Amino acid sequence: MSRRGWLLFVAMSVIWGTPYLLIRVAVRELSPATLVFARTLPAAILLIPMAAHRGQLRPLLPHWRWIIAFTAVELALPWFFLSEAEQHLTSSMAGLLIATVPLIAVVIYRAVSPATERITRRRLLGLVVGFAGVIALVGIDRRGTDLVSLAEIAVPAVGYSLGPLIVSRRLADLPRLGVVSASIALAAILYAPVALTQLPARISFEVLAAVAGLAFLCTALAFLLFFALIAEVGPSRATVITYLNPAVAVLLGVALLGERFTTGIAVGFPLIIVGSVLATGSRTPDPVAHS
């Protein structure tokens, strides 16, 4: 891998491991709907003109139904429910549970394409090990864990698994920047009516900084860097960041928010990552978007 490739790889691993921390801070004062709106509107303002300038929006029009479907499963629902969940879960726990996306993707892809997505012994072992990690994580740390929030985390985990499937089956020939920028703009429009009625009377500088980080760093800049990373190292290598993001989420949560590094994390995290690597093998899902 080139020096530029390594720099992009490290940058993406850090950037997409950061949203869990920022969401945890932002939901102290913002409702989930307001946070999704505040995150997507600035990113859309930046990305839509770029996509329009490159002529990447017009080709999307005949595919508007699938653009809406992609927006729902990859952005609108996951970001809302992740914000809901982080009102009660630590950012570390949220990041680790989202790490199950490759495992869920294997199961979904198998159900959709049984002829091409075989469950080999290696994949089956990976699924068993990975989900054992989830059981260890949740089971060992069950004290004080909100069960409703755990269920809410399932929405982004499943959504992030379905999003790439929609892209590969229905939107593969469309420009990625156009798809992502249009989806972000649609999410902002969707949440605007509710978000604008839930604006707090006062927003602290800390929360403003978290929202700015989510909008400009973790959304707008992240997608631009991810496209550059794919161009530099290819889609297969680019997806390896999926395995590093949770580690960044845990480190940031422990170091900056004072979250505990629990026995559940120590046991469950390695099992989830090893299981994901085994289950996906040489073919990893293409993560179009993240938290």
Token pair listed for 46:
């930046």
Token pair listed for 126:
């990976």
Token pair listed for 32:
């989930």
State the DSSP string of 149-170. Answer: HHHHHHHHHHHHHHHHHHHHHH
For residue range 38-95, list pLDDT tens digits in order: 999 999 999 999 999 999 999 999 999 999 999 999 999 999 999 999 999 999 999 9
Neighbours of 268 (CB within 10 A): 26
- Least confident piece of the model among 43-52, 139-148, 236-245: 236-245
- What pLDDT, on a 0 to 100 scale, did the predictor assign at position 286? 52
- How many whole angstroms separate alpha carbon 165 and alpha carbon 185? 21
pLDDT above 50: residue 197: yes
- How many whole angstroms separate alpha carbon 17 and alpha carbon 8? 14
Q: pLDDT confidence of 284, banded at 50, 70, 90?
A: very low
pLDDT above 60: residue 236: no
**pTM, full prediction:** 0.89
- What pLDDT, on a 0 to 100 scale, did the predictor assign at position 144? 57
- How many whole angstroms separate alpha carbon 73 and alpha carbon 290? 11
φ, ψ of residue 31 in degrees (nearest 5): -70, 155
pLDDT above 90: residue 291: no
- Return the H-helix or E-strand segment holding 74: none
- How many whole angstroms separate alpha carbon 241 and alpha carbon 118? 24
Neighbours of 140 (CB within 10 A): 16
214 vs 220, 237, 271, 291, CA distance in Å?
A: 9, 25, 29, 9
State the DSSP string of 99-112. Answer: TTHHHHHHHHHHHH
- What pLDDT, on a 0 to 100 scale, did the predictor assign at position 20? 96
| Residues belonging to the chain | 291
